[in-house]
Amino acid sequence: MTRKYFGTDGIRGRVGKLPMTVDFIMKLGWAAGRVLSESGHGRVVIGKDTRISGYMFESALEAGLAAAGLDVLLLGPMPTPAIAYITQAQRAACGIVISASHNPYHDDGVKFFNGNGFKLPDSTEIAIEEMLEQSLTMVEPEDIGRASRMEDAKGRYIEFCKSSLSFNKSLRGMKLVVDCANGATYHIAPAVFRELGAEVIELGTRPNGMNINDKVGAMHPQNMRAKVLENQADLGIAFDGDGDRVMMMDAKGDVKNGDQLLYIIAKSKLKKEPLGGGVVGTVMTNLGLEHALQSNNIPFERAAVGDRYVMEKLVSNGWQLGGESSGHIICLDKTTTGDGIIAALQVLDWLITEEQDLTEACSDMEVYPQCMINVAISGKIDLKSNATINQAIQSAEAELGDSGRVLLRPSGTEPLIRVMVEGQDNQQVEKLAETLAQTVSDSTTTLSS
């Protein structure tokens, strides 16, 4: 069955339009409660980011879950990985996050964790969608669920994050710019780094319901760069709106993305103890990371884009470390999902141990130039069977040899074909990407006519 509402990371959309309407979200809470609590009883943890719509959807979910007979534990604004942690710690039936991650405030979404703190498999999401097709039926009045608030959720999660840094390590002497994107980490991340000894300069810690991800955070490093340079900070750390991804910046203002941070963490874990298998990236992971890991005899595999697919491959391989270029980094030896704060602490652990700065720590990983071009399409193109496109791909791959790669993939949300070329020579990469993009565009025009 094809999923109607669930995407790669829960349900997401513009507030006020299906599926992000109050009536739909209330029924979603009911349907999820019916599917995820087999006994018809239990407790569900709900957290949210700082969007103004979060209050509305929190109440809608609470009503739907109560109608299904489940109790609700409300955490208020908390990072996505905090909901995963507290769901597991509380032995809850599931955890629900109200967030649209790095999207602007007028979007919102809902995503779920099972009782073990892992994102739901496709089969469970399909079961929830099937339940949505049924009529909403309430439990008996005496079985209606109750709601309460966890007043100490913030402190619990701060201590959990701090525990992921080696007990004998301190951040004393470090000056950090911490950019929380006016999102869910605004009252968490600065406290974590301060309590570990760092001097913290805050950015993006004044949410007003509508400024989440607005020119701040992992997607917009410009303001953080200015703060790092102005304050002569050792480095900057930027999160997205729900705190499950991280980017870092060195003292010169150069951004280090998820691939580079993943490499530092892999080296750190390899030095302390056996890595626990290999590292999982995605089809978009920079080829430089793959080559750098190979030079350290660390196995590497690619998954489809999306942290849920990285997680699936980690679990199937029995590995512990994976991530995406966007900054979603999963350390399964520490937690059950991508966690920006915990990933940043693993990088800092290496910097302290090796007495290196951020630039030195990833200097032995060459970042290959990548060129991405989005080609609008008016109809469906079967990339595998299109002879013209495949001939162009083979020609580009032959020119790149072992020092590059080509990737064409349809967008999961828009009528686009994403054309990506990667290699060691920037001019060559751009030229090949433009040629491939034109070939795809011409094929689309032929298809339309």
Kindly name the residue from 37, 53, 99, 101 that is annotated as catalytic: 101
Residue 1, in any domain of the structure:
no
Q: Is residue 77 part of a domain?
A: yes
Together in a domain, 133 and 23: yes
Contacts 24+ apart (CB under 8 A), 216-219: 216/179, 216/180, 216/181, 216/182, 217/102, 217/179, 217/180, 217/181, 217/182, 217/183, 217/241, 218/102, 218/179, 218/181, 218/245, 218/246, 218/247, 218/326, 218/327, 218/340, 219/102, 219/181
251, 268: one domain: no
178 and 234 in a single domain? The answer is yes
Domain C-terminal end among 134, 151, 168 = 151
> 248 and 291: one domain?
no
107 and 42 in a common domain:
yes
Give the count of domains, the chain: 4
Give domain status of residue 4, yes or no: no
> What is the per-residue pLDDT for 378?
76
One domain for residues 191 and 227: yes
Active-site residue 166, yes or no? no
User: Is residue 9 within 8 Å of residue 307, measured between CB atoms?
Assistant: yes
Does pTM top 0.85 for this prediction? yes
What pLDDT is recorded for position 277? Answer: 87
Query: What's the CATH code of the domain at 275?
Result: 3.40.120.10
Query: What is the signed CA dihedral for 360, 361, 364, 370, rounded to 10 degrees?
Result: -100
The secondary structure of 352-411, three-state, reads: HHHCCCHHHHCCCCCCCCEEEEEEECCCCCCCCCCHHHHHHHHHHHHHHHHHCEEEEEEC
Same domain, 64 and 90: yes
Does residue 2 belong to any structural domain of this protein?
Answer: no
Identify whether 436 is part of a domain: yes
- For residue 365, tell me if it sits in a domain: no
According to the model, what pLDDT value does residue 413 have?
63
pLDDT for 122: 87
* Per-residue pLDDT, 75: 98
103 with 23, same domain: the answer is yes
What is the pLDDT, as a whole number, of residue 40? Answer: 58
Q: Same structural domain for residues 406 and 374?
A: yes
Q: Give the domain-ending residue among 151, 186, 220.
A: 151
Q: Are 310 and 326 in contact (CB under 8 A)?
A: no
Out of 359, 382, 406, a domain closes at: 359
**324 and 441, same structural domain?**
no
Residues 428 and 387 in one domain: yes
pLDDT of residue 9: 87
Query: Domain for residue 419, yes or no?
Result: yes
Q: Output the tens digit of pLDDT for each of the chain's 449 residues.
A: 578 999 888 999 999 999 999 999 999 999 999 998 765 578 999 999 999 999 999 999 999 999 999 999 999 999 999 999 999 999 999 999 999 999 999 999 999 999 999 999 889 999 999 999 999 999 999 999 999 999 999 999 999 999 999 889 999 999 999 999 999 999 999 999 999 999 999 999 999 999 999 999 999 999 999 999 999 999 999 999 999 999 999 999 999 999 999 999 999 988 877 677 899 999 999 999 999 999 999 999 999 988 889 999 999 999 999 999 999 999 999 999 999 999 999 999 999 999 999 999 999 999 999 999 999 987 677 888 899 999 999 999 999 998 899 999 887 667 889 999 999 999 999 999 999 999 999 887 665 54
Same domain, 291 and 334: yes
Query: What is the extent of the structural domain holding 44?
Result: 11-151
